[in-house]
Amino acid sequence: MWSGKNVLLGITGGIAAYKTTFLVRLLIKAGANVKIILTPSASSFVSPLTLATLSKNPVVTDFEKTEAHTTDWNNHVELGLWADFMVIAPATANTMSKMANGACDNLLLATYLSAKCPVFFAPAMDLDMYRHPSTVASIEKLQSFGNVMIPATSGELASGLHGEGRMAEPEEIIAHIHKHLLAGLPLSGIKVLITAGPTYEAIDPVRFIGNHSSGLMGFELAKTAANLGAEVYLVSGPTHLTVDNNAIHLIKVVSADEMYDRVHDHFSDADIVICAAAVADYRPKTMAEQKIKKSDENLELALVKNKDILLSLGEAKKQQYLVGFALETENELENAKEKLKRKNLDAIVLNSLMDKGAGFGGDSNKITFIDTNSNIETFELKTKAAVAKDIFNEIIKRRYA
């Protein structure tokens, strides 16, 4: 959710400003792009140089740019439009009062008034200031505008008093924003189970039967589902790909039998299940305990059939919306429809090795989405990231629209 998002952080003149160094660090680590505006007094509490170093962006404090020999200015409108969301932390009583009443005497306030994005604010002040009717009125007014408050917590305050008014910790601010943003997403509260990658079926300790699947399609599906608010369980065969989203639980397997077991571990309470893995149909009947030495001109392997994961899920299906993949080389549409019916799927994604740029190993794919009502949607060649979005758009239209 945070990856690639533009976060505009406004820091005001309160002692809690020192915590923003940790907040910036967490945002950057989560993959966000961060720009920072300091009010004139905020730099007394936290160093612009430190914040610029952590955010990898210049910190701005005033309308006038400070570079020598320039007449340029910091454009508050441009900053407001750049942001996907704005966070004001700490939000002092002074700044909240100005925000609530439309005062505009510094760059941060001008940017706030120009922002089109969601605005989150984290109050921070002493106990009596936090409880004062004017502060309470400012907070209520800001919330009535659609701004989202990250509540202050209780604890020891700068005055030595103990009570409500401490700014939420950086981890709490991140979690609060994350929870709020999830609540408005179409797959919030939905569990999605996805399989990805190849399986490797061991011949001996060093050799295996496998295929050319990179796992990219399944991983892009997992990223898309997480960005739509879902909790994702990604069961993946061997691949170099990684995940960096806490909403994706990566479960690594090697063989088809392992994938079968892990998928069934999570199937019963899943809402959407997409089987995008290229599972080996057969495995060696026995695995040699030692490396097979090269001797004869020919080597014969006895193969046995692996359990059909997708078929077993179709037989056990209750509330799940089950989607399979069909990679075909001939009679594509007929074969995909037959597989859809035989395995009791809700939909199937067809791609053909005959289409240039589609299939294993590449960054693109060309798909046709077919559901049980014989509704067919065909898409042009796209990146697998874009294909993943198309697939979930089709699922959401049919399941949650």
Domain match, 387 and 276 both:
yes
pLDDT score recorded for residue 75: 79
Is the pLDDT reported for residue 401 higher than 90? no
Position 351 in a domain: yes
Classify residue 292 by its DSSP letter.
P
User: What is the arithmetic mean of pLDDT over 206-225?
Assistant: 94
Q: Are residues 178 and 196 in the same domain?
A: no
| DSSP helix, strand, coil percent of the chain (3-state; round to 5) | 35, 25, 40
Looking at the fold, whether 41 and 178 belong to one and the same domain comes out as yes
pLDDT of residue 393: 97
102 shares a domain with 16: yes
- Spatial separation of the C-alpha atoms in residues 135 and 147, rounded to whole Å: 15
Task: Report pLDDT digits (tens) over 84-95.
Answer: 999 999 999 999
Active site residue 211: yes
Residue at which a domain ends, from 183, 210, 245: 183
pLDDT of 72 above 60? no
Same domain, 163 and 99: yes
Pairing of strands 231-236, 282-284: unpaired
Tell which residue, 149, 134, 2, 26, has the closest CA to residue 87: 149
pLDDT of residue 112: 96
- The predicted model gives 226-247 an average pLDDT of 92
Q: Per-residue pLDDT for 212 more than 80?
A: yes
pLDDT value at residue 369:
97
SS3 193: strand
The mean pLDDT value for 47-61 works out to 93
Q: From the centroid of its chain, how far is CA 361?
A: 23
In this prediction, residue 327 carries a pLDDT of 83
From 158, 155, 13, 10, select the one nearest 89 (Cα to Cα).
Answer: 10
Question: Quick one: pLDDT at residue 61?
Answer: 87
Among candidate residues 211, 335, 344, 393, the one labeled active-site is 211
Inside any domain, residue 125: yes
348-358 pLDDT, tens digit each: 999 877 777 66
Considering the domain architecture, whether residues 151 and 128 belong to the same structural domain is answered as yes
Q: Is residue 360 part of a domain?
A: yes
pLDDT at 234 over 80: yes
304 and 324 share one domain = yes
Q: Is residue 1 part of a domain?
A: no
Position 73 in a domain: yes
- pLDDT in the model for residue 71: 52
Number of structural domains (the chain) is: 2
**E-assigned strand segments in 246-343:** 248-252, 272-275, 282-284, 303-305, 321-328
Q: 134-178: per-residue pLDDT in tens?
A: 999 999 999 999 999 999 998 877 777 788 889 999 999 999 998
Window from 65-69, 235-239, 340-344 with minimum mean pLDDT: 65-69
CATH of the domain at 101: 3.40.50.1950
Calculate ∠ Cα 240-243-245, nearest 5°: 175
From 156, 183, 210, give the residue that closes a domain.
Answer: 183
Q: What was the pLDDT predicted at 267?
A: 98
CA distances from 34 to 66, 181, 308, 359 (A): 20, 17, 47, 37
pLDDT at 295: 76
Task: Please tell me the pTM assigned to this model.
Answer: 0.74
Report d(CA 168, CA 175) in Å as an integer: 10
Asked whether residue 305 is assigned to any structural domain, the reply reads: yes
Q: Are 140 and 158 within one domain?
A: yes
**Contact by Cβ (8 Å): 3, 244:** yes
Residue 4 clears pLDDT 90, i.e. is over it: no
Are residues 111 and 68 part of one domain?
A: yes
* DSSP per-residue string spanning 107-130: HHHHHHHH--S-EEEEE---HHHH
Residue 211 lies in a domain: yes
- Tell whether 128 and 147 lie within a shared domain: yes
Tokens 């037959």 belong to residue: 338
For residue 63, is it within any domain? yes
The pLDDT-based confidence of 68 (bands split at 50, 70, 90) is low
Q: What is residue 383's three-state secondary structure? A: strand
- Cα separation, 151 vs 164, whole angstroms: 9
Please tell me whether residues 167 and 228 are part of one structural domain: no
> Which of 114, 148, 183 is the C-terminal boundary of a domain?
183
What are 279-334's pLDDT values in tens digits?
A: 999 999 999 888 888 877 788 889 999 999 999 999 999 999 999 999 887 888 99
Residues 161 and 224 reside in one and the same domain? no
Residue 118: asked if its preceding bond is cis (omega within 30°), the reply is no
Residue 306 structural domain? 191-399
CATH, residue 373: 3.40.50.10300
